[in-house]
Amino acid sequence: MKQNPFLTGRKIKSQKLRKNLKVVSLVQNYFQAYNSARLYEACQLLSEKMLNKKNNTTIGLTLAGAITPAGMSGLIVSLMEKGFIDFIIATGANLYHDTHFALNFPLYKGTWQIDDATLWKHGVVRIYDVFLTTDTLLNTDKFTQKILLEKSAPRGAISSSEFHNYIGKCLLKQSPNPEVSILAQAAKFNIPVYTSSPGDSTYGMDLANFNKAVNKEFERKGAIDLHINPNLDVLETAAIVMGAKKNGAILLGGGSPKNFYMQTQPYLWECLGIEKGGHDFFIQITTDSPVWGGLSGATPQEAVSWGKINPNELKNTVVVYSDITIAVPILFSYVLEKVKARKQKNLYIKKHKLLKDMEKAAKNKPVTWTADKLYERHKKI
């Protein structure tokens, strides 16, 4: 008899747990159905295809939701050190809270069962069950404003990658604990870090202070005309994606960082006339649901209709419906156990060349421009 085509998958086994299980054995032998199976598939996709040296995939990581306050910066740094992450797009809040850990400003395990008016009276801020003091916020702001007043600080209109690279370099030199900081290690390994909403965080609030109409003291000290121009970020991220052999996304949460990464493909074909074909690999870990209006920027299937995902690569997409703080330690530990380190792509120091390459590719297309002129023009806005 012919084998039933629907019964070609792995047989599901009922097994007793063994002592001293490693993560790889746990995932491969016990994650067999529902979202544990999706997490198994994500582990396989990341380790066997996205990080396969033959594919030479450029991997972008996006961060949304309160990830770094939960102490997850170190997990992300572990992948950055191995060359497994090539660029990052995050909410400004995640990058701001990442800085607390570099500076050894404390965050504490708290509880959600509390009267927040009482916390306010005691100078405590709550992120669900994480507590931090207003002193942690104020001292982080003090550090930020101090380094932005230094002569080495950038001036004028800059990309968010330049802003974050400068903060990261300062953390490497001046902070007591830079080894667990995303920003510090991104500066060390030349990994560009972007934020899709520069004003929507305390870093955005700190930058607003540099407006001479708001802060006369800063004007007297010469620290004026410093702001992030999102246009530069659109150009840089699109150039990174265009220059990649293959593109892979690891999306922690959804929201604006997810779409900012995914929109790079529509920017190339819709605005520049460059048909890249869509992203090749896609892993998202989320608790969102598409029935409420798009799963924070669409399921992989829906993204195909926008030209964001290569329709021929839908088999290489996985959505894991899980709490990030549960799934990510498993996914990342699996990969660290299975995959050897890759060479760093050093995209931060290559970004202008990538822009020039995008300019060349855009010639004789529906929209023509020059990277030098457009980039410099935007920096003056």
In a domain, 376, yes or no: yes
Rounded mean pLDDT of 145-161? 90
pLDDT value of position 225: 74
The CATH number that applies at residue 158 is: 3.40.910.10
In a domain, 13, yes or no: no
In a domain, 15, yes or no: no
Q: Which two tokens stand for residue 317?
A: 């997409």
* Residue range of the domain that includes 72: 23-380
Q: How many domains does the chain have?
A: 1
Catalytic-labelled residue, pool 169, 258, 276, 308: 308
Look at 234 and 9; give whichever has higher pLDDT: 234
Kindly tell me if the per-residue pLDDT of 223 is higher than 50.
no
pLDDT digits (tens, 9 = 90+) for 353-377: 999 999 999 876 766 556 666 666 5
In a domain, 10, yes or no: no
Q: Active site includes 308?
A: yes
In a domain, 14, yes or no: no
Q: What are the CA-CA distances from residue 9 to residues 32, 84, 181, 322, 373 (Å)?
A: 11, 29, 41, 23, 55
In a domain, 361, yes or no: yes
pLDDT value of position 381: 53
pLDDT digits (tens, 9 = 90+) for 195-204: 999 989 999 9
Q: How confident is the model at residue 298 (pLDDT cuts 50, 70, 90)?
A: confident
